[in-house]
């Protein structure tokens, strides 16, 4: 997926699981544009993971084996925490 195709990325962010949507969608909407190209590509790679894995990682029930994916999960969690709750 192209890092500049925001419509496609937005569609990929919609997971259908409320917990994931609450974590991923605000990060995409508020933070994606400020990421460098490497982190944009990493975010897209994270979106290609299965929902159960994403859920476990974002809810701190485990961590990805890949250290770069671990870094992106931590970035999503920290940015979401710093921003506070967002109405969906």
Residue 35, domain CATH: 1.10.150.250
Residue 71 domain flag: yes
- Whether the Cβ atoms of residue 26 and residue 81 lie closer than 8 Å to each other: no
Residue 1 domain flag: no
- pLDDT at position 34, please? 96
CA atoms within 13 A on the CB side of 40: 15
First and final CA of the chain: distance in angstroms? 25
Residue 67 domain flag: yes
Report the C-alpha dihedral over residues 34, 39, 45, 47, rounded to 10 degrees: -30
What confidence category does residue 66 fall into, taking pLDDT thresholds of 50, 70 and 90?
A: very high
Residue 52 domain flag: yes
Number of domains the chain is built from: 1
pLDDT at 88 over 60: no
Residue 88 domain flag: no
- List the domain range (segments joined by +) for residue 71: 6-83
Residue 63 domain flag: yes
- pLDDT at position 79, please? 94
In this prediction, what percent of the chain has a pLDDT beyond 90?
A: 80
Residue 48 domain flag: yes
- pLDDT at position 83, please? 82
């Amino acid at each position: 997926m192209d890092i500049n195709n925001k419509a496609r990325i937005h569609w990929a962010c919609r997971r259908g699981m409320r917990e994931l949507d609450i974590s991923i969608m605000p990060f995409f909407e508020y933070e994606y544009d400020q990421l460098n190209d490497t982190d944009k590509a990493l975010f897209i790679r994270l979106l290609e993971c299965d929902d159960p894995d994403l859920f476990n990682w974002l809810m701190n029930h485990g961590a990805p084996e890949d250290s770069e994916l671990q870094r992106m999960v931590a970035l999503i969690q920290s940015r979401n925490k710093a921003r506070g709750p967002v109405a969906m």
